[in-house]
Amino acid sequence: MTEFAGSQYVIEVIYLIASALFILSLKWMSSPTTARHGILAGEIGMVLAIGGTLLRHGIVDYKWIIIALVLGSGIGIPLGMVQMTAVPQRTALSHAFGALCVTLVGTAEFYLRTPHVEKFMMSVLSMEVILGGLTFTGSLMAAGKLQEILPQRPITYKGQNLVNFLLFVVAVGSAIYLVIHPEAKIFFPIVVGVSLIFGVLLVIPIGGADMPTVISLLNSYAGLSAAAMGFVLDSKLLIIAGALDGSSGLILSIIMSKAMNRSFTNVLFGAFGQVQASAAGGQEAKPVRSATPEEAAAILAAANKVVIVPGYGMAVAQAQHKVRELYDMLTKKGVDVRFAIHPVAGRMPGHMNVLLAEADIPYDRLIEMEEINGDFPQTDVALIIGANDVTNPAARSDQSSPIFGMPILDVDKAHTVMVIKRGMSPGFAGIDNPLYYLDRTLMLFGDAKQFVGGIVRELGGGH
Amino acid sequence: MGSNFIDALFIFMLACFIGFEVIRHVSPLLHTPLMSLTNALDAIAVVGAIVLVGEHPHNTFATVLGVIAIVAATSNVVGGFLITDRMLKMFKSSRPVKK
């Protein structure tokens, strides 16, 4: 803070360039053709910023910095090489790491500065550790659920919202007390500790289907906590990067919550997973029509237009490569095959796109919901692989359905609907899907990967 | 100090608006790589951790917390850029042969 002005200016200019590169980096992400320039811009910005920081005069000891940088890179490489199916939990884990960094620095800064902490400084410092703390444990919980170390189903208990609310009040209340009496050090660990517990409890009631919203929200919190850290350290670069990340996460959460027909306040206050499996019981087995791979292959081969609707079930069964074979086979026969992507299909925003891109399916065949919905009436076959609630027509017509109002893919308007599914058990949210009982619907019972493999064999052999 | 905070608030506000405008135009196709990229960029918090460790060599508490913070953030920088790049490499357009 008392360096020579000259070098300080150089470093600030480096930060300025890095900030510009970060903004460009995100701007270039808008299209797949320029996106890889975006990464390069981001990387250059990052190297400049870290390099510039190491030049600071105030830094006297490099030993630990170098050790930590090397160690972090060593951990980062395997985290960057995970399988594409593991991307949601990897993302959650990296939110946790980002938040951990912010929380630790915030904690250290408090003890270095106390008891002389200005009111505004104490406010942003509290914001930093509250957001950082809850994001850290919340993201760890999310990662655990996605990795299936923790139970995926929502864990709920009576008075859950009240407990969460009280914890939040304790954290914020202690923080406010600290703002007024910064010398009351004892309150700081309370703020951090309660935030950590709050993060755990916030994510406990969340089920797998709500993960896209939650991950986006945690992304936003991670960004905001970094921006708060920028205020504490008076680093404009950090404020900008945090604001960009925060707004990105916020936009994604808004998109996700809209796609699930939840109000945004509903999401903000952590009332995820409130759709309960209330009406699951009492359903008598209604007749369904089922078909074998041979029959399915014959129908697909005779079709002109096929739309495939992938869901989380496809990811679980690791069926994306078999789906690619099916795509190739049908395309060769002159069938027009496209993929309908619901915004919340899978476990994080864009999850299905990445899996299908990994399987080498061209991205211009992946169509968003609004764009493809009008085409279903002209579609010969809609093939649903491991998706359920996003195709449930009850969301359009049945006011009593828990998902009523949620935008869905209008697959029931296709001439023939085929659903690959393990059995007749209701989907994740425990909601019955009337789609399965339509006359035009054929149920293809079996594992997604094996069943698609069976269809591919039939198509190949019958040629 | 007071006016510094006000300046910082202005910067924060402007950056939020830029973020909204820029990210609104990102195709839903790329939402997953977008998230891993913003994650990597967000790990610029490593800068704060580096300063913390470098400027307080004799404060064990600050050094320990700072070192863990650097490790966590650096793993995000390296892992985040790496996986974003791997994902984007996979996105291919259909060849002109296919119609």
Q: Give the per-residue pLDDT at B93.
A: 82
Q: Is the ipTM of this complex over 0.85?
A: yes
Q: Give the per-residue pLDDT at A273.
A: 46
Is there a contact between B69 and A104 if contact means CB atoms under 8 Å apart? yes
Who among B35, B41, B75 is closest to A79 (CB)? B75
Is residue B1 predicted with pLDDT exceeding 80? no
Half-sphere exposure of B97 (CA within 13 A, CB side): 4
Is there a contact between A72 and B47 if contact means CB atoms under 8 Å apart? no
Residue B51 lies in a domain: yes
Chain B residues with CB-CB distance to A27 below 8 A: 22, 25
Is there a contact between B35 and A91 if contact means CB atoms under 8 Å apart? yes
Chain B residues with CB-CB distance to A349 below 8 A: 28, 31-32, 34-35
3 state DSSP class of A367: strand
Residue with tokens 């992938």: A310
Interface of B with A in 15-44 (CB under 8 A): 15-16, 18-20, 22-44
Dump strand ranges (E) for A290-363.
Answer: 305-310, 336-341
Tens of pLDDT along A204-263?
888 777 888 889 999 999 999 999 999 999 999 999 999 999 999 999 998 888 888 877
Contact of A122 with A182, CB cutoff 8 Å: yes
Residue B15 lies in a domain: no
Residue B18 lies in a domain: no
Q: Does B10 touch chain A (CB under 8 A)?
A: no
- Nearest CA distance, A121 vs chain B (angstrom): 9
Residue with tokens 């407990």: A163
Number of domains in chain B: 1
**DSSP letters along A53-113, please?**
HHT-TT----HHHHHHHHHHHHHHHHHHS--GGGHHHHHHHHHHHHHHHHHHHHHHHHHHH
Looking at every residue in chain A, the average pLDDT score rounds to 87
Q: Give the per-residue pLDDT at A397.
A: 85
Identify the closest residue of chain A to B9 by CA–CA distance: A231
Is residue A122 predicted with pLDDT exceeding 80? yes
Contact of A256 with A407, CB cutoff 8 Å: no
Residue B34 lies in a domain: yes
Active-site annotation of A, residues: 389
Q: Give the per-residue pLDDT at A49.
A: 95
Is there a contact between B70 and A101 if contact means CB atoms under 8 Å apart? yes
CB–CB contacts below 8 A, A to B: 365
Q: Which domain holds residue B58?
A: 28-90
Q: At residue A426, what is the residue type?
A: P
What CATH superfamily is the domain A293-461?
Answer: TPP-binding domain (3.40.50.1220)
Global pTM reads: 0.89
- Nearest CA distance, B2 vs chain A (angstrom): 8
Q: Give the per-residue pLDDT at B25.
A: 87
The CA-atom distances, in angstroms, between A288 and each of A86, A283, A424, A441, B83 are 34, 14, 9, 8, 43
